[in-house]
Structure 1
Amino acid sequence: MKVTLIVGTVLLLALVLGIGYTEYQRHARTLVKQSRPVPNVVVQPVVRQKVARLVEALGTVKSRESVQITAKVTEKVDQIHFEDGQQVRAGALLLTLNSGEQQAKVRAAQANLDEQRREYKRIEGLVRRNTVARSELDKLRTGIEVARAILAQNQAELEARTILAPFSGVLGFRQISQGALVTPGMVVTTLDALDTVKLDFSVPERFLGQITPGAPVEGSVAAFPDQVFSGRVSTINSRVDPQTRAVEVRARVDNPQLLLRPGMLMTLALTLESREGLVVPEDAVIPRQAEHFLMVVNGENVVEQRLVELGFRRRGEVEILSGVQQGEQVITRGMDKVRPGQTVTTQPVEHFTFREAAHVSD
């Protein structure tokens, strides 16, 4: 009887102690949970905007039209009518050479032509009166044609002493001085049409079937890093380089402020395909083997892990094809501090803005 009483007492005591220990552990866990701070993460919204598949390349800027202004004859420079870097219109007078001898020849040729015409009229009257044979009139007609040819030749020699701008553009440096003797082929200056420039670049042949005339091109140059220059593909070369397996493409780029100059190197992006899509920062994507995930904060500030499918991408931006909706908040910083199902506090990125028509590539 006493043994049974003792055993019962021991069991009751053990039960009481066990319950107390369990409550103690539960209370301790609650205290730990309450004392643990709620993680603070940085979030950004899923936005819908224009995305595109791009080909990046390096291109060389060339003038729409370019020419070296040279003399046609050997003669001394009489007057120079331009300054270095001057903008001129087509037909503008650039240079006049000594032309006194040619002017005299033109006057003599003109006088000879006038005399031939007067003689022709005199003989024509005599022919009508049957005083002179008609064959004399034919000889005079031939003389007039010869006189016209001599006049045209002398006028051409005179015009060769005057150098005009063949088209509108910007002149380069002046290479001669007044009084200098110029010879045929000697460069006087250069002239470039820069209101629209050509941009030549190479792309791998695998993209040949995806490039079409009119495809948009955007680029920048080192001299103006904050300036974006826009153009469109105008021509695709008929041949692929057998050494590089690349095809040459030419684009036309508007240059109203004349910022682009021939020879500049431009970093450019050619758009192969564009559409509207959902875009998130590249930092928000978590790669795991062949899969990609986003940590999404729902309306109750609880973290959800989403399996997503990626589309086009560009440095800093990724298109999401499935797994999230527009406007949802994705974690971009602090992902290592949270796990799915955990409650967090959120903080938006200050001054974060996507470009309006951002382009994303493969």
Structure 2
Amino acid sequence: MARFTPLTYCTGVPCALLLLFFSLSLFSSCKEHADAASADRKAKSGEPPIVDVLVASPRPIKNEIEANGSVVANEYVELHPEVSGRIVYLNVPEGAHVAKGTVIARINDADLQATLAKSKAQLDLFQKTEERERKLLEINGINQADYDLAVSNINSTKADIDYTQAQLDKTVIRAPFDGVVGLRQVSPGAYVTPANIIATVQQLDKTKVDFTIPEQYSYVVRKGALVDVQLDALKNARRKGLIVATEPQINLSSRNLKVRALLEDGAGHPGAFVKVFINAGVDKRAIMVPTNCIIPEDRNNQVILVKDGRARVVNVETGLREASSIEIVKGVNPGDTVIVTGVLFARPDAPVHIRNVKTGEDENTPTAANDK
């Protein structure tokens, strides 16, 4: 019987893979120890950390508010039966356009039809009785009370007919306006109640957008103003929307104001997510810094400046936000040097080594810096 010794097994592929794995692990471990030792030497020697800085200067920014919203149909309704019963007729052309008044469904009304026929027969009898008693009253053949009873029977029966007819009208479900029918939710012959949805009808020739903005920006929203609407499915295309109304009351839980705008081209699927961009006023110039250089605290936001070659921590107030930068409203003046990289390594009142300097006008163009 052949026996496999360790030497024989190691001549195969598995041994080669193991040797490669151990070699890489040993190299990585050695590199980590070397980096740690280098960091320890720098810390012990007091060598200042290397940072990149930005010279603060005002640059033009677009004063634009971005909000999230949804597309809403101009008219939308869920068709429910008003009475309970079995469906005897169903006409739901899914996805098709229907005109106002089109019959969508009918509920079994045999009992109501019988009641209506009975009331009409009684009315005919009461009317003939009233005619006879009126002639008798003219010759004092009956008293006034008997004639009044005959008239009361006629009026009561007419009221019963009107009531039954109203119940019959409830058994017919019609389209309340011109629109597109949604998917059918019931089948012919099904027993339905007012809680059941037969289908939906939406008017899509005009579509609206509902969105919310924080209450502090309510001053920029006014009826008749235009906004830019970007559908999520078409990220690079913006459409115009006309503000038609605002909710009178601000939401008590979110403190947001609900706004409704009408899409000018009318295109859009109800329920779709959109982004709305509102011009908050004249474009201005402001000091913008990268968001990663902001140090958040419980009460204040902070940035680290470089003054006389040393790090200085200052409190700042922030304003508008862009994709990767934020406005500094207070705390940083034009010409100040703000640390943008190496923020975590800078210590208050400790020296720093500036590697690159960027300007506020062009943050992507570094310039050489003189060590201080």
Q: Tell me the TM-score range normalised by the shorter chain.
A: 0.5 to 0.7
Matching of residues 63-82 of structure 1 within 5 Å: 63-82=73-92
Structure with max Cα Rg:
1
1:131 and 1:243 mapped to 2: Cα distance?
A: 77
Give 1:65 shift. 2.7
Q: Deviations over 1:107-156 (max 9, x none)?
A: 22122222222222222222222222222221112111210121122212
Q: Give 2:270's aligned residue.
A: 262
Deviation at 1:103, TM superposition (A): 1.6
Distance 1:255 1:66 in 2: 19
**C-alpha distance 88-228 of structure 1, shift in aligned 2 (>3 A):** farther
Match of 2:226 among 208, 213, 216: 216
2:163 paired residue among 136, 153, 168: 153
Where in structure 2 are the equivalents of 1:99-248 lying within 5 Å? 99-225=109-235, 228-241=238-251, 244-248=254-258
3-state DSSP of counterpart to 1:111? helix
Letter in 2 for 1:266: V
Preserved CA contact (<8 Å) 1:194 1:255: no
Please name the residue that 1:332 is paired with: none
Distance 1:229 1:93, change over 3 A: farther
* Separation in 1, partners of 2:265, 2:123: 51
Question: What SS does the aligned partner of 2:249 have?
Answer: strand
Whether contact under 8 Å (2:242, 2:264) holds in the other structure is no
Letter in 1 for 2:277: A
Shift of residue 166, structure 1, vs aligned partner: 2.0
In 2, Cα distance between the equivalents of 1:248 and 1:175?
Answer: 32
Structure-2 change in CA distance of 1:111 and 1:250 (3 Å): same
RMSD of aligned residue pairs (Cα, Å): 3.2
Which protein is richer in strand relative to its size? Answer: 1
Q: How does 1:44-63 map to 2 (within 5 A)?
A: 54-63=64-73
Change in CA separation of 1:124 and 1:60 when aligned onto 2, cut-off 3 Å: same
**Match in the other structure for 1:328:** none
Letter in 2 for 1:137: Y
Partners of 2:246 and 2:166 lie apart in 1 by 41
State the Cα deviation string for residues 289-311 of structure 1 (Å, max 9, x = none). xxxxxxxxxxxxxxxxxxxxxxx
| Aligned-residue identity in percent | 26
Cross-structure match for 1:37: none
**1:172-193: CA deviations, max 9, x gaps?**
1101111112123111111222
Equivalent residue letter for 1:101 = D
Q: CA deviation at 1:68?
A: 1.5
Q: Is the 8 A contact 2:185 2:197 kept in 1?
A: yes
Q: Separation in 2 of the partners of 1:68 and 1:57?
A: 29
* Matched residue type, 1:264: A
The aligned residue for residue 97 of structure 2 is: 87
In structure 2, the CA distance between the partners of 1:176 and 1:245, relative to structure 1 (3 Å rule), is closer
CA contact (8 A) 2:92 2:199 kept: no
Contact 1:195/1:255 (<8 A) preserved: no
Gaps of 5+ in 1: 1-51, 276-313, 316-335, 337-362
Equivalent residue of 2:176, what SS? coil
Could you report, residue by residue, the CA deviation over 1:289-339 in whole angstroms, capped at 9, with x for unpaired residues? xxxxxxxxxxxxxxxxxxxxxxxxx99xxxxxxxxxxxxxxxxxxxx9xxx
Q: What is the DSSP-based 3-state SS (H/G/I as helix, E as strand, rest coil) of the residue aligned with 1:240?
A: coil
Cα-to-partner distance string for 1:192-248 (whole Å, 9 max, x where unaligned): 222223321122322212321111122131334565433211222233345544322
1:239 alignment partner, SS class: coil
Alignment partner, residue 9 of structure 1: none
| Structure-2-length-normalised TM-score | 0.55
Query: Take 1:254 and 1:162, find their aligned partners in 2: how far apart are those partners?
Result: 36
1:163, distance to aligned residue in structure 2 (A)? 0.8
**Number of aligned pairs?**
231
Post-superposition offset of 1:86:
2.2
